Amino acid sequence: MKKSSLLKIITFTLLAGITSCGSSDSPGTIFIPDFTATWPVEGDEDYFMNLQYPSNDTKYDNGPLHSGEILGEEQHNDGDDPRHNNILKGIFNGLDIEFTIERENGDKIEYKGKMTPISETNHFIVKISLNSPQEGAMVLSR
């Protein structure tokens, strides 16, 4: 094999490897399927989040998106709990998600985290790991 042919093969292999690699936290461009659901909070069977796309936004009518807005409610089975019936608003971008919960007492609780799909080829979200400076870690799972 000629030196120039071998060099071309090595160069092509290196370039192909570089362009196909992504970070281990973000497996390339992910189009998030409709993750609207009631998400139980792990470790507290009475506490959950209802997440949804904005209902009057037509850009969500054409299927999964890479990024967008989310709306929802923080819910607790004990109606007297301060975590019951509070509005949440936020955004997602790929597997990154963040939202703010506005509590009745005026507190604004911020959460940021990552969504976990079934796999790199099946983008159905099965877990959302979040952290809040005010309230610490929280995991939502289906």
pLDDT, position 139:
98
pLDDT band at 23 (very low <50, low <70, confident <90, very high): very low
Flag whether 6 is in a domain. no
- 96 DSSP 8-state letter: E
Flag whether 11 is in a domain. no
| 60-87 confidence digits (pLDDT tens) | 566 667 888 999 999 999 989 999 999 9
Domain count of the fold of the chain: 1
The angle formed by the CA atoms of residues 35, 124 and 85, to the nearest 5 degrees, is 25
Q: Could you tell me how far CA 30 lies from the centroid of its own chain?
A: 10
Flag whether 10 is in a domain. no
Flag whether 21 is in a domain. no
More confident call, 138 vs 23: 138
Domain span including residue 69: 28-141
Flag whether 88 is in a domain. yes
Flag whether 8 is in a domain. no
| 30-60 confidence digits (pLDDT tens) | 667 667 889 999 999 999 999 987 766 566 5
Flag whether 123 is in a domain. yes
Output the DSSP codes for 48-59. EEEEE--TT-GG
Residue identified by tokens 């042919």 is 5
Taking 80 as the threshold, does the pLDDT of residue 105 lie above it?
A: yes
Taking 60 as the threshold, does the pLDDT of residue 118 lie above it?
A: yes
Nearest alpha-carbon partner for 48 in 62, 37, 32: 37
Residue 24, exposed/middle/buried by CB under 10 A (0-12, 13-18, 19+)? exposed
Flag whether 3 is in a domain. no
* Interatomic CA distance for residues 92 and 32, integer angstroms: 9
How high does pLDDT run on average in the chain?
80
